[in-house]
Copies of this chain bind each other. A is one copy, B any other.
Amino acid sequence: MLKNRQITLASHAHGVPQVDNFSMIETPVPTPGAGQFLIRNLYFSLEPAIRGWLEGKANYFEPIPLGGVVRGPSVGRVIESNNPDYAVGDIVFALNQWEDYSICNADTILLEKLQPQDDTPLSWYVGPLGGSGTTAYVGLHEIGHIKAGQTVVVSAAAGATGSMVGQIAKQRGCRVIGIVGSDAKAQMLVDDFGFDGAINYNTCTDITAAVMAQAPDGVDIYFDNVGGPILNAMLLTMKVQGRIVCCGMISDYNRTENPNPITNLWEVVARQLTMQGFLLFTYHDQVPAAQAQLAEWITSGKIKVLEHITKGIANTPAAFCELMSGKTTGKALVQLDLPEEQ
């Protein structure tokens, strides 16, 4: 009988999550009820947002209970269906759980039936064509109101979302500066991803001055993935009526009890800034158009894909902890092993 391997929350995370915050259990493969369908998960999308659900406190989703299966986005194949809209063989993206098999229905959050092209790796649908890419696209357009000729700065710029933000902004005719945590990442952004400049925050003593040196007229759009001291420094670089796209604040995710203080908010008034937070699911109806544009750019080679793939469901906790320690570049994902097909 097939088993469903599931990664559960063994203990609440404090600080950088550790592999012993997680356990793996085996349960029977569930049977879909009326209107439901069963998917075989193929890829997990590892995302910093998941960190926010591991402490037992509600944020925009309920926390994951101790012993509960960890929630996370996945791409999978429908293998059994009681829903006429989802046939066996369909490929779907959804907010599922870290497990081999998930039950979905029409109301599953972020559910989307994918139309993968033959030559498009499925993994791209959790990264550049999935939440990371579409978050970057929607954030720049809907929240950032991006226009050609603007100066765009993005933090966590070598990450899944940040690397897409910078490349999309370049396609829109902007000047792009990335903020990253190592010289190697900075070099990669400029050499391989077409960024106009990059700053290593770990060796830079004055982020504000470093940005202003590369953008003397100031910054139109700051796409913020990190919050904390970098956001604080960026507030001093913004042009009048500039926009800060608040996508994430990863610098605080490992220290939610003691978040980094922000002291430069007066600039929001003095420079007439707009700081706006957003979550992708609010803009779900714009995802297909974003995906179509991203697919065109990627297949034509204008935007490069950067992935960090870990294989095997059992390695999911270690891969997630690696992501949250800032060591990865590009989209972190897990490619599931499929013992039933071997």
A265 to B277, CA, bound (A): 10
Q: Which of B60, B256, B263, B277 contacts A262 (CB 8 A)?
A: B263
Q: Does B227 lie within 8 Å of A265, measured CB to CB?
A: yes
Pick the most buried of A240, A256, A268, A277: most chain B CB atoms within 10 A of its CB. Answer: A277
> Is the CB of A59 closer than 8 A to any CB of chain B?
yes
Interface segment among A146-154, A194-202, A241-249, A299-307: the answer is: A241-249
The distance from the CB of A84 to the nearest CB of chain B, in whole angstroms, is 33
Instruction: For A274, list chain B residues within 8 Å (CB).
Output: 274-277
A246 to B274, CA, bound (A): 9
Q: Does A269 lie within 8 Å of B282, measured CB to CB?
A: no
A265 to B261, CA, bound (A): 9
> Is the CB of A319 closer than 8 A to any CB of chain B?
no
The distance from the CB of A293 to the nearest CB of chain B, in whole angstroms, is 23
Q: Which of B246, B272, B273 contacts A269 (CB 8 A)?
A: B246
**How many copies of this chain sit in the oligomeric assembly?**
2
User: Considering the complex, which residues of chain A in the window 253-294 have a beta carbon less than 8 Å from any beta carbon of chain B?
Assistant: 256, 259-279, 282
Q: Does A266 lie within 8 Å of B227, measured CB to CB?
A: yes
Nearest B residue to A243 via CB reads B276
> Is the CB of A54 closer than 8 A to any CB of chain B?
no
Q: Does B277 lie within 8 Å of A249, measured CB to CB?
A: no
Nearest B residue to A264 via CB reads B259
> Is the CB of A46 closer than 8 A to any CB of chain B?
no
A60 to B239, CA, bound (A): 11
Q: Does A265 lie within 8 Å of B231, measured CB to CB?
A: yes
The 5 A-B pairs with the shortest beta carbon distances in the complex, nearest first, are: A261-B261, A268-B277, A269-B277, A275-B275, A274-B276
Given contacts A272-B282, A274-B276, could you give 10 more A-B pairs where the C-beta distance is less than 8 Å? A246-B265, A248-B269, A259-B263, A259-B264, A259-B265, A262-B262, A267-B277, A268-B275, A273-B277, A274-B277
**Selected A-B contacts with CB under 8 Å, 15 pairs:** A52-B270, A231-B265, A246-B265, A247-B269, A248-B269, A249-B265, A256-B266, A262-B262, A267-B277, A268-B276, A271-B277, A272-B282, A274-B275, A274-B277, A275-B275
Which residues of A come within 8 Å of B, CB atoms?
Answer: 52, 59-60, 227, 231, 240-241, 246-249, 252, 256, 259-279, 282
